[in-house]
Amino acid sequence: MAAKDLSPTMKTALHEIYSHGGIVERRPGGYWTWPQCLSNGGVPLAYYGTTTIEALVARGKLEYTNHQTGRRGDFPIGAKVTVTASH
């Protein structure tokens, strides 16, 4: 896979994030979802793993916007779609 290529999972995640306001937040448990994601019994209808979010950041499609300090230092808790990634 070339450095700029997106996997099918990354393409789906980027499209869904963009379609729901372009912002994702890290939730307790380490998964990511958009702020107003509806849930079914407390489980979000769509969520993304940290690896997928990190890959989209590395490819310039998302950028981290918020961080939180934990026992091991700062870690990202918010990201948004970059202008260059918009459709």
Domain presence at residue 3: no
In the prediction, which pLDDT does 37 show? 83
Tell me if 63 is assigned to some domain.
Answer: yes
Residue positions counted in the chain: 87
> Containing domain of residue 19, as a range?
8-85
Dihedrals phi, psi of 13, to nearest 5 degrees: -60, -45
Structural domain includes residue 44: yes
**In-domain check, residue 13:** yes
Distance CA 23, CA 65 (A): 9
pLDDT computed for residue 84 by the predictor: 65
Q: What are the tokens at 84? A: 């260059």
pLDDT at res. 2: 47
* 1-10 per-position pLDDT tens digit: 444 689 999 9
- Count structural domains, the chain: 1
Side chain identity at 17, as an amino acid letter? Answer: I
Q: What digits encode the pLDDT tens for the residues 8-66?
A: 999 999 999 999 999 999 998 889 998 888 777 777 888 999 999 999 999 999 999 99
In this prediction the pTM is 0.84
